[in-house]
C-alpha cells in the first residue's frame, strides 16, 4: 500500500511538472514572438530614421572606463567608418578625433550641459563636413554610469556665420 501511494503521488507530481513546463514553454514562445515583433519594429524605425539622413548613436560613459559609442549604419556612414570592424571604444575615439580642434571645448561644454539635463544642439566640423548632433536622452544607470542617446545628421546650415574652423552651440 505504501508503494502504491508513493507511485500515485509521483504520478501526480509528474503531471503537475508537465503542466508547469508546458505553461512555461507557451509563455516563452509568446515572449519570443513579442520580442521578434519589437525587433522588426525597431529595424523598420531605424530604416525610416536612416532614410531621413539621421544616424542614431549611443555613448556610454562609466567612471574608470574609456567612453564607448555605437550606432546604426547611417551613423557609421556619416562618420566614414562603414565596413570597419571597430570596437565601441575605437568608434568613440574615431568620432572624437575627427572633431575640429577648435570645436572640442564647445563640444565638451555641450556634452557637460546635456549631462546636467539641459537640452542643446551642437554642430561641429568633422573632417570636411559639418555634422549636427543632438542628445535626445540621458540615462543614469547608477552614480558611475550614464548613457547618452541621440542623432547625427549632416548640417545643411553651413551658414556664413561658420568660420572654416569654428563650431557654434545653439540652445533650444
d(CA 18, CA 21): 5
pLDDT in tens, 93-128: 998 888 888 888 888 888 888 788 777 677 777 766
The per-residue pLDDT for 163 is 36
d(CA 70, CA 17): 44
Question: What is the pLDDT averaged over residues 39-57?
Answer: 82
The band of 170, judged by pLDDT with boundaries at 50, 70 and 90, is: very low
The band of 161, judged by pLDDT with boundaries at 50, 70 and 90, is: very low
The per-residue pLDDT for 79 is 85
The per-residue pLDDT for 151 is 80
Q: For residues 94, 95, 101 and 102, what is the CA-based torsion angle, rounded to 10 degrees? A: 180
CB 86 within 8 A of CB 94: yes
d(CA 78, CA 60): 20
The per-residue pLDDT for 41 is 87
The band of 68, judged by pLDDT with boundaries at 50, 70 and 90, is: very high
**DSSP conformation letters of 24-71:** HHHHHHHHHHHHHHHHHHHHHHHHHHHHTTEEEEEEEEETTS--EEEE
The per-residue pLDDT for 144 is 82
pTM of structure: 0.63
Would you say residue 172 has pLDDT above 60? no
The per-residue pLDDT for 169 is 35
CB 121 within 8 A of CB 153: no
Amino acid at each position: 500500500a505504501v508503494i502504491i501511494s508513493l507511485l500515485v503521488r509521483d504520478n501526480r507530481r509528474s503531471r503537475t511538472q508537465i503542466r508547469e513546463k508546458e505553461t512555461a514553454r507557451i509563455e516563452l514562445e509568446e515572449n519570443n514572438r513579442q520580442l521578434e515583433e519589437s525587433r522588426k519594429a525597431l529595424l523598420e524605425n531605424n530604416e525610416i530614421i536612416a532614410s531621413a539622413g539621421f544616424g542614431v548613436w549611443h555613448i556610454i560613459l562609466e567612471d574608470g572606463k574609456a567612453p564607448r559609442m555605437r550606432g546604426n549604419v547611417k551613423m557609421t556612414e556619416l562618420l566614414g567608418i562603414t565596413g570597419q570592424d571597430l570596437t565601441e571604444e575605437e568608434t568613440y575615439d574615431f568620432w572624437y578625433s575627427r572633431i575640429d580642434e577648435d570645436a572640442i571645448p564647445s563640444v565638451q561644454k555641450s556634452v557637460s550641459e546635456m549631462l546636467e539635463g539641459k537640452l542643446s544642439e551642437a554642430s561641429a566640423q568633422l573632417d570636411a563636413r559639418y555634422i549636427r548632433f543632438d542628445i535626445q536622452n540621458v540615462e543614469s544607470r547608477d552614480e558611475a554610469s550614464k548613457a547618452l542617446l541621440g542623432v547625427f545628421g549632416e548640417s545643411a546650415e553651413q551658414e556664413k556665420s561658420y568660420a572654416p574652423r569654428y563650431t557654434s552651440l545653439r540652445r533650444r
